[in-house]
Copies of this chain bind each other. A is one copy, B any other.
């Protein structure tokens, strides 16, 4: 487990939980174990099956009950029910809590925040910042970062190394950009955003019109004049791309969570709190509702409207509007190759097969 604090920086179980504001209401009680007590130092956090005596752990499902008996962690977060099922008092401290998964998330965040910050605050001398850009004094601008004219970077923002931010952009307070991110001109993101490495926001949408003056079959470019607007609390995964709008903005709502290598075309709107797993592709001008959950590698045609609270299974192609909530799927089942070959041959005859079935039904009807 890579986040391991040096013993002199590590808290005791008691200090750790006291330092997490929400823990006060979440934790019902803390019981000492046979070996470890509340003053035991906690250097990190690990899964129940492999956490060692310097780590706190947790259990979220009775599926892992067996591991609980043999856990080596110095403290374990669990429900009162789980505690009651334990045959005997364990070696470790027991943190009794109605929502162990939520407390785990808070403890993990606590350790995450103790990682060493990657860069010293301020603007790194190697950064190239346009004289008309405005950088808050508490922001961190890493090495080799480039910031264009008129761009505003708010308080507590961290732009990590080798990012390029275009002109007239805005980065809301508390946002983090990991290395090698590119913002074209006129990209605005809200507060507390997390933009992972290699993300490209605001590249030209794919807009062309046939232009025979340029040659047989040639395409003329449609300039893409819109921008990209991203709400608050949005996370965008590594190497994801979101194109600028043709005339108006491409819009990503508040609380949207996008995994890696997602592609969102120009003029799309993504509703608040919608989450998408990796490799999803959304063609231009499609509108996706709020609180949707989109599985990995799902694909959407352009100009669609998808309702709120829709769930799309991974690998599914959506080619028409979805007017109300529900779960939709369209995946070809995998099978041993030879079996697939036999079935695939029939797939291209399905229409004919149905015709033969109808014919038979008629014939049998007549016989009867």
Cross-interface CB contact of A330 among B108, B203, B335, B346, cutoff 8 Å? B335
Flag if A128 contacts B128 (CB, 8 Å). Answer: no
Q: How far is the CA of A79 from the CA of B186 in the complex (A)?
A: 32
Flag if A334 contacts B346 (CB, 8 Å). Answer: no
Contacts of A178 in B (CB 8 A): 182, 184, 203
Complex: chain B residue closest to A247, CB-CB: B47
| Number of this chain's copies in the complex | 3
Q: Decide yes or no whether A172 CB sits under 8 A from chain B.
A: no
Flag if B334 contacts A329 (CB, 8 Å). Answer: yes
Q: Decide yes or no whether A361 CB sits under 8 A from chain B.
A: yes
In angstroms, how far is the closest chain B Cβ from the Cβ of A174?
A: 13
Flag if A296 contacts B279 (CB, 8 Å). Answer: no
Flag if B330 contacts A218 (CB, 8 Å). Answer: no
Contacts of A347 in B (CB 8 A): 332-333, 343, 347, 350
Q: How far is the CA of A291 from the CA of B164 in the complex (A)?
A: 35
How many of chain A's residues touch chain B, expressed as a range? 35 or more
Flag if B208 contacts A275 (CB, 8 Å). Answer: yes
Complex: chain B residue closest to A109, CB-CB: B223
Contacts of A326 in B (CB 8 A): 336-337
Flag if A348 contacts B339 (CB, 8 Å). Answer: yes
Interface 9-residue window, one of A13-21, A63-71, A89-97, A141-149: A141-149
In angstroms, how far is the closest chain B Cβ from the Cβ of A171?
A: 16
Flag if A209 contacts B296 (CB, 8 Å). Answer: no
Q: Decide yes or no whether A241 CB sits under 8 A from chain B.
A: yes
Contacts of A164 in B (CB 8 A): 160-162, 179-180, 197
Q: Decide yes or no whether A154 CB sits under 8 A from chain B.
A: no
Cross-interface CB contact of A278 among B219, B257, B260, B265, cutoff 8 Å? B265
Flag if B255 contacts A198 (CB, 8 Å). Answer: no
Known A-B contacts A219-B275, A346-B351, A360-B357; the reply to A1 vs B126 at CB < 8 A is no
Flag if B342 contacts A346 (CB, 8 Å). Answer: no
Contact with B along A313-334 (1 / 0, CB 8 A): 1111111000000111111111
In angstroms, how far is the closest chain B Cβ from the Cβ of A130?
A: 9
Cross-interface CB contact of A354 among B203, B211, B346, cutoff 8 Å? B346
Cross-interface CB contact of A126 among B102, B128, B328, cutoff 8 Å? B128
Q: How far is the CA of A364 from the CA of B363 in the complex (A)?
A: 8
Complex: chain B residue closest to A291, CB-CB: B217
Q: How far is the CA of A299 from the CA of B261 in the complex (A)?
A: 13
Contacts of A278 in B (CB 8 A): 206, 263, 265, 281, 283
Contacts of A235 in B (CB 8 A): 204, 221
Flag if A259 contacts B206 (CB, 8 Å). Answer: yes
Q: Decide yes or no whether A194 CB sits under 8 A from chain B.
A: yes
Flag if A203 contacts B237 (CB, 8 Å). Answer: yes
In angstroms, how far is the closest chain B Cβ from the Cβ of A234?
A: 10
Q: A142-B146, A197-B203, A329-B340 are in contact. List 16 more A-B contacts (CB 8 A).
A: A1-B225, A44-B225, A111-B225, A146-B161, A197-B200, A206-B237, A206-B278, A217-B273, A260-B263, A263-B279, A313-B340, A327-B337, A328-B337, A330-B335, A346-B353, A364-B364
Leading 4 A-B pairs by shortest Cβ distance:
A330-B334, A217-B291, A112-B223, A164-B179
Offer 22 A-B interface pairs, CB within 8 angstroms, sorted by A.
A50-B248, A102-B209, A105-B209, A109-B223, A112-B223, A118-B166, A126-B128, A164-B179, A178-B184, A206-B259, A263-B279, A283-B314, A301-B314, A316-B334, A328-B340, A329-B335, A330-B334, A346-B354, A353-B354, A353-B357, A360-B361, A360-B364
